[in-house]
């Protein structure tokens, strides 16, 4: 219990605005801080989500799809979420077994047709999707990251969450509604 509370506290910490960077610091430091925040938020979301008809011990995988700006740290470090494969995979949106091979998708920029095809595949499936684009969170994506120069937050598409059958911890749902 203490471990889950400290994990949640760490997760909340990374949703707070990143501290102001002095004028002498480079844009590279801001970018690195954004990467670090995202590499904490994504595992936080995964760790507080439960899949239907899946044993908690079943190994799950997150895959990166499309052209991404902030997934480098996710791809280059080991994921440390219990029940998740430690290596994040990059796949094509056209991967034919994407629903079976990936229980979570980190989605970057995709051409409209590829995006439509991907969303038609994962709609109403137990696939947790996180978009790094600042698109309105109204399509099939469950979580939409909100990234700006000084902070990272997220919005939640509750309709998509319900259709997916994935249970999200109520505290995460509250955080998502607060970050709008």
The yes/no answer on whether domain 2-178 falls in CATH 3.40.50 is yes
For residue 124, is it left (φ>0), alpha (ψ between -120 and 50) or beta? left
Give percent above pLDDT 90 in the chain: 42
pLDDT tens-digit map of 58-79: 788 999 999 999 998 889 888 8
pLDDT higher at 3 or 111: 111
Asked whether the CA dihedral 6, 7, 12, 16 is positive or negative, the reply is: positive
Closest C-alpha among 111, 106, 100 to residue 88: 106
- Look at residue 59 in the predicted model and tell me its pLDDT: 81
Contact criterion met (CB below 8 Å) for 159 and 121 = no
Could you tell me if 104 and 61 are in contact, meaning their C-beta atoms sit under 8 angstroms apart?
A: yes
pLDDT at 110 over 80: yes
**Pairing between strand 143-147 and 152-156?**
antiparallel
Q: What is the per-residue pLDDT across 113-123, written as a single tens digit (0 to 9) for each?
A: 999 999 999 98
């Amino acid at each position: 219990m203490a471990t889950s509370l400290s994990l949640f506290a760490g997760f909340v910490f990374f949703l707070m605005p990143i501290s102001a960077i002095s004028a002498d610091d480079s844009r590279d430091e801001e970018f690195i801080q954004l990467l670090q925040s995202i590499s904490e938020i994504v595992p936080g979301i995964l760790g507080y989500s439960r899949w239907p008809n899946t044993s908690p011990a079943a190994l799950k995988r997150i895959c990166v799809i499309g052209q991404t700006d902030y997934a480098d740290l996710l791809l280059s470090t080991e994921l440390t979420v219990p029940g998740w494969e430690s290596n994040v995979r990059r796949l094509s949106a056209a991967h034919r077994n994407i629903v079976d091979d990936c229980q979570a998708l980190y989605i970057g920029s995709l051409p409209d047709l590829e995006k439509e095809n991907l969303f038609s595949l994962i709609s109403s499936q137990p696939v947790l999707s996180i978009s790094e684009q600042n698109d309105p969170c109204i399509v099939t994506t469950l979580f939409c990251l909100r990234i700006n120069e000084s902070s990272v937050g997220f919005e939640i598409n509750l309709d998509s969450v319900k259709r997916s059958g994935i249970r999200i911890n109520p505290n995460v749902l509250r955080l998502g509604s607060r970050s709008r």
